[in-house]
C-alpha cells in the first residue's frame, strides 16, 4: 500500500494525544502522578486535545472530496470509519467537561468518573481507527488480531512518554508512571515482534485462486494497461526486503529500546526531563516509521491480478 | 434478482473491445465522465470500469494463454458497501452495486476493501467510480428489448460475455454456469462474487511422435531447435522491466 503521509501523521499524532489523555485521566484514580495539580492536568489535557485535533485535521487531507466528509457520521452501524468519526467528535465535549471539572473542583468524584469515561472513549476511538485496517480481508498484513492491540499499545507508549516529560517539567515524582511506561514498552515490543514474525508466514490468496486456475502455474503475460492506474499507484507500492529489515530495526531501537533505557533510569524518579523529552521524541519517530512500514508492508490482493504470485 | 455477468474464458480472445465499449457508453452515462489523465501525453491514464489481463497457465510446451476481463463482481457480501462511511456505496434490490456520486467523499476505503480492483477514484471529480452493469441501459424501456444489455455484452465479438439473473435457475447465465462449471474468483475471501467465469474447454492433446521429437528437438542442435530456443528465450523475457517490473508492479520473477 502506498504510505500516505496524511494518514501516517494522523494515526501517530492523534494516537499520541489519545494515549496521553488516557494516562492523564487515569493518573488520578490510580495515583500514577502523585501531587499533580488541577492546573497541570488541565494544561496537559489541552495539549493532548491539540495533538488529537492536529491528527484529525490531517486525516481529512487524504479525502479526494472533503465537502462530503460530514456524511461520514451516517453509517455508524456498519462502517468502522464512520464509528471512528462519531466517537472522535463525541470525545470533545466529554474531554472538555472532564478538564473543566478538574480545573474547577480538583480531585473530586465527578472529575475522576469523567476522567475514566474519557479514557474509555479515547480507547474506543483508537480501536475504531485500528479496525478500519484490521477489518479489510483484502490485506492479510492488516487483517490480523494483533493490529488493534498494536495500535492501542503504541498510542499508550507515545502518550505515556509525553506524560513523563510533562511530569518531569512540573517536577513531579515520576516513579509510578515510569513503571507503567516500562510495562507498556515491553508489552508493545513483544506484540510488534510477534507480528513481524507472523508476517513472514505465507498465507492468503495466491495468483492461482485469484484467477481460478489452481492445478497449474499461472504467470502474467500482459497487465493490459500501458501506464500507471489508480490501482498501481494505490496498491503497487513495494519496498525491498533489506530496507524493510533496516526499518524494523529502526522501529525497535527508536520506539522500544532507547525509550525503555531512559524510562528505567527514571524509575527512581531522578531523571532530567530533557532526557525524557528525547525519549518521547524517539518514541514518536519510532511509531512514525512503524506506521510507514505498516502501509509499505501491506500487500493488497489486487497485486495478484497484476502478476504477484502471493501476498 | 441477482444480476451479473458470465465470462467465457474459452472464447475470450482478449481484444479489449468490452473495455472500450464500456468506456464509450459509461463516460456519458450516469456516473460519467470516466476521466482520462494526460490522454495525449507520454503517460496516458484514466478511469476504466473493465480491465482485461492476460495470463499464461501452466508451462511451455503445454501452456495456455488465458484472457481475463474483470469488472465489478456485484458481490453478495459486498464489503465495499459495508465499509463506506458516507452511504455513497450501496447495493440495489436487483444486486447491482453502485456509488452515489453526490455522497462520496473520496476516502478510498471501498477500493481498499475490494479484492477485484473494481473501483477507481476519479482524480478530477474526487469520487469513486465503478461498473454500473449499465444500469442506464438494462432498465431503459425506450431501447429495443434485445439491447437492454450491458455495453460490454452487446459488443463482444466472440459472444464470450453473458448478462442475466442468477436467481432464475433457467436463465442463460444460470444454465451456462451449471453446464460449464462456472466459478467465482478468489472465493476464499468470502465476498460471494456474483459474476462467474467459464473455464476453457478441455482440448485434445496434440501427439508428438518420438521420431518428430528427435528431428525437431527443441533442446537439440538442429537449426529449427536453435531457432525455437531463441523464440522461447525472447518470449520469457518479454515485457519484463529490468527491476521491479513494469510500472512498479510485481512480476512473477520479482516475487521469487
Residues B117 and B146 in one domain: yes
Q: B117 and B220 share a domain? A: no
- B112 and A136 within 8 Å at the Cβ level: the answer is yes
Q: Indicate if ipTM > 0.90.
A: yes
For residue A311, being part of any structural domain is answered with no
Higher pLDDT, A103 or A267: A103
Please give the average per-residue pLDDT across A5-31, as a whole number.
95
Is B122 part of a structural domain of the chain? yes
Residue pair A167/A279 in contact by the 8 Å Cβ criterion: no
Mean pLDDT of chain B: 89
Question: Which residue from A minimizes the CA distance to B107?
Answer: A63
Residue B255 in domain: no
Does the beta-carbon distance from B54 to A205 stay under 8 Å? no
Domain co-membership, B118 together with B237: no
Residues B66, A208: contact at Cβ < 8 Å? Answer: no
Structural domain that includes position A297: 5-305
Residue B48 with chain A: CB contacts under 8 Å: 225, 229
Residue B64 in domain: yes
Chain A hits for B191, Cβ within 8 Å: 137
Q: Which residues of A touch B102 (CB under 8 A)?
A: 68
Kindly report the three-state secondary structure assignment for every residue of chain B.
CCEEEEEECCCCCCCCHHHHHHHHHHCCCCCCCCCEECCCCCCCEECCCCEEEEEEECCCCCCEEEEEEECCCCCCCCHHHHHCCCCCEEECCCCCEEECCCCCCCCCHHHHHCCCCCEEEECCCCEEEECCCCHHHHCCCCCCHHHCCCHHHHHCCCCCEEEEECCCCCCHHHHHHHHHCCECCCHHHCCCCCCEEECCCCCCCCCCCHHHHHHCCCCCCCHHHHHHHHHHHHHHHCCCCCCCCHHHCCCHHHHC
Domain membership flag for residue A250? yes
Q: Hey, are the CB atoms on A138 and B114 less than 8 Å from each other?
A: yes
Taking contacts as CB-CB distances below 8 angstroms, the residues of chain A near B59 are: 216-217
Residue A121 lies in a domain: yes
The DSSP H or E segment spanning B233 is: helix B223-237
CA-based nearest residue in chain B for residue A79? B83
> At A297, is the pLDDT very low, low, confident or very high (cuts 50, 70, 90)?
very high
Instruction: Decide if A148 is inside a domain.
Output: yes
pTM above 0.80, yes or no: yes
Mark whether B147 and B225 lie in a shared domain.
Answer: no
Mean predicted confidence (pLDDT) in A53-73 = 94
What per-residue confidence (pLDDT) applies to B194? 97
Residues of chain A in contact with residue B114, where contact means CB-CB under 8 angstroms, are 138, 302
Cell of B249: 508492479
Is there a single domain that holds both residue B24 and residue B144? yes
Nearest chain B residue (CA) to A234:
B112
Q: Tell me the mean pLDDT in the region A76-101.
A: 97
Q: Which residue range is the domain that position B232 belongs to?
A: 211-245
What pLDDT does B208 receive?
64
CA distances from A306 to A44, B94, B98 (A): 49, 31, 25
Please indicate, yes or no, whether residues B182 and B223 belong to a single structural domain of this protein: no
Whether residue B128 is found in the same domain as residue B220: no
Same domain, B194 and B218: no
Is residue B143 domain-resident? Answer: yes
Domain contains B203: no
Domain co-membership, B30 together with B110? yes
Taking the CB of residue B241, how many other CB atoms lie within 10 A of it? 12
Task: For chains A and B, count residue pairs whose Cβ atoms are closer than 8 Å.
Answer: 217
Give A70→chain B minimum CA distance, Å: 8
> A71, B87: Cβ pair inside 8 Å?
yes
pLDDT score recorded for residue B238: 77
Asked, for residue B254, whether it belongs to a domain, the answer is no
* Same domain? B61 vs B178: yes
Determine contact, residues B73/B194, Cβ cutoff 8 Å: yes
One domain for residues B192 and B215? no
Residue B253 lies in a domain: no
Residues of B in contact with A62 (CB under 8 A): 107-108
Round the average pLDDT of chain A to a whole number and report it.
Answer: 95
Number of domains forming the structure of chain B: 2
Interchain proximity A232–B249, CB inside 8 Å: yes
- Domain membership of residue A310 (yes or no) is no
Task: Confirm whether B252 is domain-assigned.
Answer: no
Q: Binning pLDDT at 50, 70 and 90, where does residue B236 land? A: confident
- Quick check: B252 pLDDT over 60? no
- Identify the pLDDT of residue A266: 86
Check which CATH number belongs to the domain holding A64 and give it.
1.20.1630.10
The domain tally of chain A equals: 1
Across the interface, whether the CB atoms of A218 and B16 are under 8 A apart is answered: no
**Which of A3, A65, A74 has the most B C-beta neighbours within 10 Å, making it the best mutation to test the interface with B?**
A65
Shortest Cα–Cα distance, B31 to chain A (Å): 16
Residue B76 reports pLDDT greater than 60: yes
Least Cα separation, residue A132 to chain B (angstroms): 8
Quote the CA–CA distance of A181 and A280 in Å, as a whole number.
11
pLDDT at A260 over 90: yes
Looking at the complex, report in whole angstroms how far the Cα of residue B158 sits from the nearest Cα belonging to chain A: 19
Asked if residue A194 is part of any domain, the answer here is yes
B192 and B219 fall within a common domain: no
CATH of the domain at B122: 3.30.70.20
pLDDT over 60 (residue B141): yes
> Do A213 and B190 make contact, defined as CB atoms within 8 angstroms?
no
Amino acid at each position: 500500500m502506498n504510505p500516505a503521509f496524511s494518514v501516517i501523521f494522523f494515526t501517530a499524532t492523534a494516537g499520541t494525544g489519545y494515549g496521553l489523555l488516557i494516562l492523564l485521566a487515569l493518573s488520578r484514580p490510580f495515583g500514577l502522578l502523585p501531587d499533580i495539580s488541577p492546573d497541570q492536568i488541565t494544561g496537559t489535557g489541552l495539549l493532548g486535545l491539540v495533538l488529537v485535533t492536529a491528527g484529525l485535521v490531517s486525516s481529512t487531507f487524504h479525502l479526494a472530496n472533503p465537502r462530503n466528509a460530514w456524511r461520514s457520521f451516517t453509517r455508524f452501524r456498519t462502517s468502522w470509519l464512520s464509528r471512528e468519526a462519531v466517537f472522535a467528535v463525541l470525545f470533545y465535549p466529554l474531554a472538555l467537561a472532564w478538564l473543566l471539572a478538574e480545573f474547577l473542583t480538583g480531585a473530586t468524584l465527578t472529575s475522576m468518573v469523567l476522567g475514566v469515561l474519557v479514557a474509555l472513549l479515547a480507547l474506543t476511538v483508537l480501536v475504531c481507527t485500528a479496525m478500519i485496517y484490521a477489518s479489510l480481508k483484502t490485506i492479510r498484513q492488516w487483517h490480523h488480531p494483533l493490529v488493534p492491540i498494536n495500535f492501542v499499545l503504541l498510542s499508550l507508549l507515545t502518550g505515556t512518554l509525553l506524560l513523563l516529560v510533562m511530569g518531569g517539567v512540573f517536577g513531579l515524582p515520576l516513579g509510578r508512571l515510569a513503571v507503567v511506561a516500562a510495562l507498556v514498552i515491553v508489552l508493545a515490543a513483544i506484540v510488534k515482534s510477534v507480528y513481524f514474525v507472523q508476517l513472514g508466514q505465507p498465507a492468503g490468496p495466491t495468483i492461482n485462486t485469484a484467477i481460478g486456475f489452481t492445478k497449474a502455474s499461472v504467470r502474467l503475460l500482459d497487465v493490459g494497461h500501458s501506464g500507471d492506474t489508480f490501482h498501481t499507484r494505490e496498491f503497487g507500492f513495494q519496498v525491498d526486503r533489506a530496507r524493510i529489515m533496516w526499518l524494523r530495526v529502526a522501529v525497535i531501537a527508536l520506539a522500544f529500546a532507547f525509550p525503555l533505557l531512559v524510562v528505567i533510569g527514571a524509575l527512581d524518579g531522578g531523571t532530567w526531563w530533557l532526557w525524557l523529552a528525547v525519549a518521547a521524541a524517539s518514541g514518536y519517530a519510532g511509531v512514525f516509521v512503524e506506521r510507514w512500514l505498516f502501509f509499505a508492508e501491506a500487500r493488497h490482493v489486487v497485486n495478484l491480478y497484476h502478476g504477484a504470485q502471493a501476498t | 434478482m441477482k444480476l451479473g455477468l458470465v465470462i467465457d474464458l474459452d472464447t475470450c480472445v482478449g481484444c479489449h473491445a468490452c473495455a472500450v465499449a464500456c468506456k464509450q457508453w459509461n463516460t456519458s452515462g450516469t456516473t460519467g465522465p470516466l476521466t482520462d489523465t494526460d490522454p495525449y501525453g507520454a503517460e496516458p491514464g484514466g478511469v476504466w470500469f473493465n480491465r482485461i489481463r492476460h495470463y499464461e497457465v501452466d508451462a511451455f510446451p503445454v501452456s495456455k494463454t488465458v484472457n481475463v476481463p474483470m469488472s465489478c463482481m456485484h458481490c453478495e457480501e459486498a464489503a465495499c458497501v459495508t465499509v463506506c462511511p458516507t452511504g455513497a456505496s450501496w447495493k440495489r434490490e436487483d444486486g447491482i452495486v453502485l456509488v452515489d456520486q453526490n455522497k462520496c467523499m473520496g476516502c478510498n476505503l471501498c477500493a481498499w476493501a475490494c479484492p477485484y480492483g473494481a473501483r477507481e477514484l476519479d482524480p478530477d471529480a474526487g469520487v469513486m467510480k465503478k461498473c454500473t452493469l449499465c444500469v442506464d441501459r438494462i432498465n431503459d424501456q425506450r431501447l429495443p428489448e434485445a439491447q437492454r444489455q450491458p455495453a460490454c455484452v452487446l459488443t463482444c465479438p466472440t459472444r464470450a460475455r453473458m448478462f442475466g439473473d442468477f436467481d432464475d435457475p433457467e436463465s442463460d447465465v444460470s444454465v451456462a454456469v451449471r453446464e460449464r462449471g462456472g466459478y467465482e474468483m478468489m472465493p476464499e475471501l468470502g465476498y460471494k462474487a456474483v459474476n462467474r467465469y467459464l473455464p476453457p474447454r478441455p482440448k485434445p492433446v496434440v501427439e508428438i511422435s518420438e521420431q518428430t521429437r528427435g528431428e525437431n528437438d527443441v533442446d537439440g542442435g538442429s537449426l529449427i531447435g536453435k531457432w525455437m530456443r531463441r523464440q522461447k528465450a525472447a518470449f520469457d523475457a518479454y515485457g519484463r522491466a529490468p527491476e521491479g517490473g513494469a510500472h512498479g508492479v510485481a512480476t512473477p520473477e520479482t516475487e521469487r
